[in-house]
Each structure stands twice: as C-alpha cells, then as structure tokens.
Amino acid sequence: MSQIHTEVYGEGPALVMIHGWAMHSGVWRDFARQLARHCQVICVDLPGHGRSEAIEPFTLQQIGNALLKAIPVQKFTVLGWSLGATVAMDMAQRFPQRVQRLIVLAGNPHFVRKPDWPGVKAETLDNFAELLKVDVSQTLIRFLALQVNGLAHGKTLLQTLKSAILECPPPGVDVLQSGLDILRTSDLREFLLRNRLPVHLIVGDKDALIPLASAQTLQRLNPAIDVQVLASAGHAPFLSHAEPLIAAIRKLL
C-alpha cells in the first residue's frame, strides 16, 4: 500500500480536505489552520503529489481507495477542490457509509464543456497535456496563472501559489497526465442528481475554470443541492476569500 501523507489540525467534527491538480496540502495549510479553530481538519496529499507516494494506475477509483485507507477517522465531511472535488464526489458515491457530507469547492462533476453542459473547453486540457510533454514547469505556471486570472491582487495571489507549491517537487509527468485524463473523462452528474447525502457547492463568480452556470444547472435539476456563490472569487477562494469561505464552511459542519 502506498504511503499517503496527511496533516491533522484541531479538534471536533472531522473535515477531510483534498487539494487540486498538481498541488499538495501546503497550498492551503494556512487556511486549514484557520479553519481548524472550528473543527478537526485532515489534509491529504493525493498519490504522487506532495509527500504522498505514487500509485499505479492513477485512476479515480484507486485514488479514492488509497485516501480512504489513510484517513484516520471513520466518518467525515469531505471537501474537494478542483481535481480534489472530483475525487471527493467519487468517494461520496462509493463510500456513503464513511462520507457524511460533501462540499465541492470550485469543482464540476463533468469538467469538460458539452453542448448541454457548461464546463471548460476541451482544448484547454488538451493544451496543458501537450505542453506537459515539453515543459512541466511552464505548464504549471500557466495553470496557476489561470486560477487567478482577472482577480484583484492577482499577481500577489499568483506568487503565493507559486511559493506554496515549490515546497515539494512537482508530480511526475505520468501522474499529471493521468490527472488531466480524470478531469477529461469523469462524469459524476448522475450521482449528484440522485444521491441522498447533503451536497454543497461553493463557487466563485470569477472562476475561469468552473462556470457558475454548472452549479446553477445542478441546483435547478436537484433543488436539494445547496449552492453558495463567493462574489469576486476565482478558482482559489481559500487564498483570496478565506474569511467568507470559512464562514460558509462552518455553517455546514
């Protein structure tokens, strides 16, 4: 079994936090410590990211299985961000006996745009995949820049993201490509429309990767889904909108 790195802060109701593509827990450690004043926060590094060992194959099912073995509590709320949101949705779907509540932060059950679904252009992921083949560092820089594109203090936020991810070596190219494949192919819309767990979507209205319309569409199809919109927030609201995001999460625990 691969070793999965975890960081645990605080006491109280357990909240498991799963980071996004190419990242690790260090990217939101300060935010997690603030949140830990109100609950127990368990941050996990995805396999092959940060301080976690890699797994083969890097698939949605294998990732969820590995994380669940490493989470030190039996029942918890799971908060997934970006790629981590896709992992969190899959875990909630397959292990409802452990996942009590699902919080999707800047995530989309079907990441890629379709004629009947608002998402990111497939070309965006394809371009990242092609650039990875020649320059990993430049790919990651472009991805980070996209997360803060158009935001107030975007340059400062970008430097914060860069500094955080440099704490650990980047994931291997195979892991990064597999992560893009998961985003490209996963479709968890049916689960969100039919599941019985409490589901909360938290989105920024300035997110360049997750259209607000995707959350609104899900809520229209399933009114039981709670949608909270962070005004003027982009893809990394734990950096730009920490206080309102903590307030929103506290109400859900």
Please state the residue numbers annotated as binding site.
21, 82-83, 143-147, 235
Catalytic residue check, 25: no
* CA distance linking residue 151 with residue 188, whole number of Å: 29
**Residue 145 in tokens:** 């820049």
Catalytic residue check, 207: yes
Catalytic residue among 200, 235, 240, 241: 235
Catalytic residue among 82, 178, 186, 240: 82
* Under 8 Å between Cβ of 122 and 112: yes
Edge-to-edge strand ranges of the sheet holding 14-18: 6-9, 40-44, 14-18, 76-81, 99-105, 199-204, 226-230
Can you state the angle between helices 173-185 and 83-94, rounded to 10 degrees?
Answer: 60
**Residue 101 in tokens:** 């509540």
| SS3 state of residue 86 | helix
Annotated binding-site residues for substrate read 21, 82-83, 143-147, 235
Catalytic residue check, 235: yes
**Residue 68 in tokens:** 């669940």
Residue 77: Cβ-neighbour burial (10 angstroms; 0-12, 13-18, 19+):
buried
| Tally of residues, the chain | 253
Catalytic residue among 5, 186, 207, 241: 207
| SS3 state of residue 189 | helix
* CA distance linking residue 153 with residue 158, whole number of Å: 9
Identify the H or E element spanning 83.
helix 83-94
Residue 243: Cβ-neighbour burial (10 angstroms; 0-12, 13-18, 19+):
exposed
Q: Would you name the residues annotated as active-site residues?
A: 82, 207, 235
